[in-house]
Structure 1
Amino acid sequence: MDMPNAEFWNERFAADSDSGTSLFAGEPNATIAKHVEAIRASFSEGETPRAIDLGSGRGRHTVWLTRSGWSTTALDFSSVGLEHTAAILDHEGLDAELVEGDLTQWNPEPSSFELVLASFIHLPPAQQHRLWEMVASALVPGGYLVSVSHHPDNQIHGPKNPELLYTAKDVVAAFGDTFEVIAAERDVVKRVEDREAVDTVVVLRKR
């Protein structure tokens, strides 16, 4: 099963930077923003909860999380994406930990984050299952996973290989009874003529 590698994403992100967006992070995904804002509101203004942005890309969620009062770590295997993120953070006077690494090899310290953000991560089943295990370990008791991905019914953008797509039920089952389900949805994001963009939205809280 061929997966885009770091070289692919470096070339793509470099092309994006060449288009004149070098100091623009982009707005966060609206669904992610809604759920993360609700979670952030559960902390006091003086607290700085820890978040990790898995597969952070060019940093739109890393930058937004940091602006929103999270102590943020970005993890991605694209050096170009992380360089872009660093430039935006520096431009805005913000600080985050940027880690160049492969999600499939991630071994976090147990109980090291209050929030794990997984935005459109699509791995082969065995690797995806391992990633969920690492997420469960990385979260503190009471910590949250926010995951938004392409649903198997999605018809616009995203991977077409059904092995890389999963439903909310799949994600909930992977975590089991040690997590409370806050949201588990099939979300139709938009329609273009007779096609639909459909996301899988899952928010879980570690018991």
Structure 2
Amino acid sequence: MTSTPSSSELHRRLRQATRLPHHALDHHPLLAPLVRTGLSLDGYGAALEALHGVHTYAEKGILAFLGKHPLPFDYSPRRQIPALESDLAALGRTPIRLAVDFFPVPQSVGALVGVLYTLEGSERGGQVIARILQELPLVNLPTAFFSGYGSLSHQRWDEFLEFAEAHCPADEQEIACATAISMFAAIQRYLDAYQSHPGKS
């Protein structure tokens, strides 16, 4: 019987490798309040500002790799910068980007899969956050970013897993896992740096 994408060996390895760093990131002081009833408008805006920097660096690396190595994976409809900038504008905030080089830049298909796994997985988590945000007493909260792909979320996740399974060879699966772990660490470090940056909104 052919494995479905969600039950593939690659997906299992990625999920297992990132379980602990994923848990740690969910509890970061900037992100944890997003699923709590006491979330403030300022706290929400700060999380979006920090995530804007994360996606700016990560997407730059993804697009650079795909520009040099054409693959059957269209990243353009998956870019989250426009949604983040829309939400920040609605909050009256101007995004800042810290001058850091924490983020892994893909140099192989395995590394690309590791970076994509982290970002595409966070989009699915964003769906859960979006539903929680809708229940909060904050009025007219812009949620374009956390709403992500909306009704296409499940389809695009499956498409990513199918791409990863078809194009990440067995000898690069370890690279994919290591890069995904590095991505979680880079996001954590970026959020830490944002918290201590004097120029944040």
TM over 0.5: no
- Relative contact order: is structure 1 or structure 2 higher (C-alpha 8 Å, sep ≥ 6)? 2
TM-score, scaled to structure 1: 0.29
Hey, which of these two has a bigger chunk of strand by percent?
A: 1
TM-score, scaled to structure 2: 0.30
